[in-house]
Amino acid sequence: DRINEAKDIESVEYPWKGLNEKTYGMRRGEVVTLTSGTGQGKSSVCREWQSWLINKGYTVGIVALEENVTQSAQALMGIHLNCPPHRWAEAGVTEAFDATVGNGRCVLYDHWGSLEPDNLLSRLRYMVKAMGCTHVFLDHLSIVVSQLGSEYGNERRLIDNTMTRLRSLVEELQFGLVVVSHLKRPEGRSHEEGGQVSLSHLRGSGSIAQLSDICIGMERDQQDEDSKFVTRLRVIKNRYTGDTGLANAVRYD
């Protein structure tokens, strides 16, 4: 019976063809880790995926720990308007709100002053069980453990514990989880200058790679005038199909 149920798991496409050819989309019950160097556009990619899922009729939970809920809402509305918030005119703003964060399929976590893993996991459970979220985005993992301080243990142990609990919650509730994680500084060419991402570069703990079903690295040379708006997405782990390597490139306009 379990095997027959597993055959019916739905795969939801990503908005980009090359990524779908590698991964066959995203599925509930899986943890997808998105990683890159600093300022490479991880949050922007997450917003594109969030907007894509909302437009397909899925309910999305957003835990964006580096910004407040107003900034998260404005970013999603900006994708709908095809215009960044600082360039908005009044026309169309109400319609953009109703089509994104105001349509009942977007759940934002107002997290300020409450980032402990126990509280965070209870909020994720509430998003899925009470609010009906099929996919949840956690941006990002490092800030969860950095808020706890050294009295709770070292960073590696905290990440191990948090990732294990996140993995267990995903298995129990069968929702799709996208986790944003940072990279440590590599030897040689830096990630901010287009260096290739590998699993060994994930910052803090090997459990991030071990407990993720799919890991996707982003590569972009921020200093190259010809390519600084082009980001390459590289699949560095793929438990579902085993197919890894460069998936596609996206251009920020």
How far apart are the C-alpha atoms of 198 and 183, rounded to whole Å?
9
Cα first-last separation, the chain: 48
In sequence order, what are the residues at sequence separation of 6 or more whose Cβ sits closer than 8 angstroms to the Cβ of residue 197?
35, 36, 183, 191, 217, 218, 219, 234, 236
Q: Alpha-carbon torsion 125, 127, 129, 132, what sign?
A: negative
Closest CA to 221 of 49, 45, 41: 41
Global pTM reads 0.92
Instruction: Report which DSSP code applies to 252.
Output: -
In sequence order, what are the residues at sequence separation of 6 or more whose Cβ sits closer than 8 angstroms to the Cβ of residue 71?
64
pLDDT exceeds 60 at position 150: no
List the structure tokens of 186: 């590599």
How far apart are the C-alpha atoms of 211 and 203, rounded to whole Å?
14
List the structure tokens of 224: 């190259």
State how beta strands 214-219 and 31-36 pair.
parallel
Of 88-97, 142-151, 175-184, 193-202, the range with the lowest mean pLDDT is: 142-151
| Greater pLDDT, 162 or 15 | 15
Mean pLDDT of 146-155: 59
pLDDT exceeds 90 at position 120: no
Q: What is the pLDDT of residue 136?
A: 98
How far apart are the C-alpha atoms of 22 and 159, rounded to whole Å?
27
Of 17-26, 33-42, 84-93, the range with the lowest mean pLDDT is: 84-93
How far apart are the C-alpha atoms of 135 and 168, rounded to whole Å?
15
Q: What rounded mean pLDDT belongs to the chain?
A: 88
